Every structure is written in C-alpha cells, then in structure tokens.
Chains A and B, each alone.
Chain A
Amino acid sequence: MEHLNKTYPGGKVAVEDFNLEIEKGEFVCFIGTSGSGKTTTMRMINRMLSQTSGTIKLEGQDIGQMDPVKLRRKIGYVIQNIGLMPHMTIRDNITMVPKLLKWPQDKMDERAKEMIKLVELPEDYLDRYPSELSGGQQQRIGVVRALAANQDLVLMDEPFGALDPITREALQDLVKDLQERLGKTFVFVTHDMDEALKLSTRIVVMDGGKIMQVDTPDGILRHPANEFVENLIGKDRLIQARPSITTVGQVMLKSPIATTPGKSLTDALRLMHDKRVDSLLVTDEAGILKGMIGIEDVDYSFNSATSVDDIMKRDIFYVQSNSLIRDTVERILKRGFKNVPVVDDQHRLVGIVTRATLVDIVYDALWGDEEEDEESDNIHHGEDTTKAKANDQTGAEGGDQQ
C-alpha cells in the first residue's frame, strides 16, 4: 500500500489534502472527533465513497481504475454495527466473501473452521445464527469475516465502540494479536485515544478534514504537535505517560554532595560525616565530573593515600540529565548501583539519582504525585469516577437483557 493522497473539496470540505503512505503490516489508527473526516477517508480506501480529487494507490495501482466490487473483495471491512447477516448462519457469514469469489465448498468449510478457531470460539457456533451470540462474540465473527478471504488490508470503522469496556479490551487484544501474527495491514478508525495508543504502530490525528499529526503512539505522547492533539490525548494521560517520557533531569536530586580531587581524605571524611552520606562525587573546579569515592575506599587507603585524587574511582557509571528515565531505570537497577551521578552535555555534574529516587518514580507511576500535585490528584479521582460509571452502565445493560 503506498502513497495515499486525496483531497475532497466541494461545498463541505470533509477531507482536505490528505497525504499518507501506509506500509505493509502497519496498524494505522485514524483518530479525531466526529466530523474530522476520519471515517470519510477510510471509506474512500475501498471506494465506498469516491474522492473529489486526488488518488489512492493500493500496491502501486490506482484504485480509481479498479472495479470497486473486486477491490472491496480484497479489502476486509468491519463496521461499528457489526453488520452480520441475521438470516445467515455464522458459517455463511464468515464465508460470504469466499463464496463471492467462488471458492469450492470444502475449502470454504475448512476456512470457516480455521477462522472460528482464530477467534477462540467453539466450532459448533458455526451453525448458529448471529442473534444467538453475544455482542462481543458477534464482533469477533465480524473481524474474521474480514479476514476469511485472505484480505491483506483490513478497514475497521470504530468496530468496538458499542461494546462494554471488558469485551472491548478482549477484542483489542485479539485484533492486535491477529495483526502481529498474520502481518496484515490495518486501518482503524476510532475516537478513543486509549484504543489508538494501544493498537497502532502509527496514529493519524485528524481534525476538520486535515491531518494534525502522524506519529507513533510514543511520539504522539511525547511531542503532541499542537493544542488539539494535546487535548485529544488528555491531560491525565499525559501525566500518566510521564514515567515513560520524563527525563533523568526532572527526577534527580539537584544538589549532589561533591568534593574536588585536591582535597585531603580527612576533609572528605568530614564532609561525608556532616552530610550523612557514604560516598562523594568528585568534580574539578569547573564542575566537570571526575570520579567518585566511597567510604570503603577511604577506610581502606586512609593511611597510604593523602588526597581524594589518589583513591577515587575514575571510570564510573553516569547518565545524561536529558536521557529518559525509562531507558535509564533498568540499567541502574540491573547493575545494582546505589547512586548514579547525572551530568549535562558538558559533562558537568548536575545531580544524582539514588535508589530512593527510583522508589519515588515507581511510587508516582502507581499512585500519582499525591503530595506535590493536587491537580493531577483530582484528575485521577475524576477518572476513577468515570470508570465506576462505565461499570454501572454495563451492569444496567446486563439487567436489561435479562
């Protein structure tokens, strides 16, 4: 799939100058508010809608030149309302496209069995009718129906929007797993940022028919292109995402206890005692990190050496203040350092990360910055309430069905 370029002017501009190249095997989410043109764009890919200008190419071939019916049989299509045929058995529903392609009967039967296994439903469901399945099960069938004829590209239009949160999550896992295992290309329309972040390899944020940003989930979280994207992500999610995107500089202790190479061991020992620490960092006059001494070194060589310079360890592990916590924490933990000095670009000592700092990071990630940050605290509570509400709703729906 290459080079998607469509403009869609006219009285009402639904999609404007949309340029996107999707690689094979990608999972691309179109996200945006209602009316952002995300569904319109997706529906142009299988020519359910036709663009006013611009071209869409599928594997180098302009789809405008292809027979729309043949094109659609090559592209899987999953919609929010599931759209299973109520008067057909699950088997017939799954094999709808293979049947249109005139596969032999035994191949279709085999395919139906294979497909139902793929979505972890029992084989005897094949003879049931859609109304006899739960909503989640129906959409599982909806998903494999889009894969049954070996479609390489699957379009999904808010497929899980109508499902309860638990079912939705199960289906997201399933789709992600299928995509990774089968190497299919997915174009997925959603308005749910969590869903987009969870599933996609790339996210296309749209507003008013225009692309706001195209990036990996990580990139979107780390560098939202503008305020719209930021709002779409939501403040609470940005805060939650902080452990993965904060830098060492933001969490380090700012005033490390340091000494200079010229100091005598007596001075160093006194400093340690005063500050209640068991090691000292060593910097030169310009603040450039030179090494480190520990209390055991002082103890061991107190009689043989005189200055800090003689005994300090020069080859020490340090981190850059602008490197990411996520990339750093693991290294610190693995190597079992008690303290890690932090330096800036010029190699000047600016701080220190201790194991206590790590405790703070983990603590914050789990419970939020409760002491320091009242606002984020509120947001987290707010979110809890929403979740509780969502649960209530599912409960009520369950009751209705009975």
Chain B
Amino acid sequence: MITFLQTYGTQLLMKTWQHIYISAIALALGIIVAVPLGILLTRVKKIANVVMAIASMLQTIPAMALLALMIPFFGIGAIPAIIALFIYSLLPILRNTYLGMEDVEPALIDAAKGMGLTGWQSIIKVEVPMAAPVIMSGIRLSATYVIAWAALASYIGAGGLGDFIFNGLNLYRTDLILGGSIPVIILALIVDWLLGKLEAVVTPRTSQA
C-alpha cells in the first residue's frame, strides 16, 4: 500500500480533486435548478406530475448510456460528464423539495396567508424552513449518487477516480481498482456525513432544549 501511494500518490490526489470538482459542480447545478423548480411545482400543481414523470424517466436511463449520449452533443471531457451527473442529481432533489413543501401543514400556510404574508414571504419564512430537512435529505441522496456515478465519468474522458478503476480493469491490476474505488467510497461517506451535519443545522429549532 505504501508502494502504491509512493507510485500513484500525486496522481491519486489529482484524480480525487477532479472527482470532487465534477461532483460538486453537478450537484450545485442540481440544487440550483431542482430546489426552485420543486417549490415552483407546488404553486402549479397541474404540471407537477408531468415534470416529475420526466425527471423519473431521465433517472431510468442507464448511467453509461447517458454518458455516451453526451458525446455527440458535448464531445468528451469534464463538461459532458458534469451535465450527465447534473441530470441524475435532479430527481431526488426535485422530488424531496416538492414533497417537503407539500407536507407543510396547510394550517400553517393558511395562517401565514391570513396574517398577511405575501406568497413569497410565506415560502421564505414558513414553507422552506419547515421543508428544509426533507429537501436536505434529497440533496444528501443526490450527493452520494453523483459521487458514485462520477467514477463512470472517466469513461468519457472526464478524469476523476474512475481513471484508476478503468485502468485497473483493463490491466487486471487489483491494486489500481481498489486504489480508485476505496477513495470513492470514503469520499461518498464523508460528504454524506458532512451534509448530515448541515441537515441538522438547517432543521429549524422547535424547542429550547
């Protein structure tokens, strides 16, 4: 293991960084698009089912196929990988945002409106804080998915820890396979743990203790 680190140490760090970079951008885009969209869907419930269906459909495309599909449109490299991963991250966030917002007690929304909060104030001050834990768990789920699938992104030349795994597979080198997959697992666990902490922070306090 020490020899492995001596040989591939710098490369490992670089690939890990690439991996984080690809996943983080994809996830950030996913959050930026899916959270507002989820909130928006609660205001226009008629199209909510349609949008959800489309998002679910995108989710069913095999990861490899989706990555391969990116090549004719965006070529190879990090950008098509980020776009593909972004598409994958959408559904869990979108669904949890929608459900979380839907789940806010109607009485609270009624009270908020009745007291004279505007629609926007009601969303910011009441609904989003109440839905925050559910939205966060959607983000956590997406984050682990994205980190895992980012390993496949190496297939279309995006780099990342997937490079080790694919090289290892091609060369029958178990050390390379493990050297790629173990960091991916650790990365996913750390991110999940960190987001879990964040979830606790954004969960609104409802008691003094």
Contacts and interface: CB of A to CB of B under 8 A. Distances in A.
B107 A87 contact: no
A292 to B, nearest CB: 65
A339 interface: no
Nearest to A72: B116
A128 B111 CA distance: 20
Interface string A47-79: 010000000000000000000011111100101
Contacts of A388: none
Given A70-B116, A97-B115, A100-B121, A130 B206 contact: yes
Interface string B103-115: 0010110111111
Contacts of A327: none
- B: interface residue count bin: 20 to 34
Q: Is the interface of B mostly helix, strand, loop or mixed?
A: helix
A23 interface: no
Q: Which residue, A80, A84, A87, A128, has most C-beta atoms of chain B within 10 A?
A: A87
Size category, A interface: 20 to 34
A97 B116 contact: yes
A132 B208 contact: yes
Contact of A87 (B114, B118, B121, B206): B206
A82 B116 contact: no
Contacts of A48: 110, 113-114
Nearest to B106: A81
B107 A69 contact: no
Contacts of A13: none
Contacts of B81: none
A96 B115 contact: yes
A82 B111 CA distance: 8
A129 interface: yes
Nearest to B129: A87
A360 interface: no
A205 to B, nearest CB: 25
Contact of B108 (A73, A85, A132, A145): A85
B206 A86 contact: yes
Contacts of A131: 206-207
B204 A77 contact: no
A133 B115 CA distance: 21
Interface string B59-76: 000000000000000000
B114 A100 contact: no
17 contacts: A48-B113, A69-B116, A69-B117, A70-B116, A72-B115, A72-B116, A79-B111, A82-B111, A83-B114, A87-B204, A87-B206, A97-B115, A100-B121, A127-B208, A131-B207, A132-B207, A155-B114
Closest 8 CB pairs of A and B: A83-B111, A87-B204, A81-B107, A73-B116, A77-B114, A72-B116, A83-B107, A86-B206
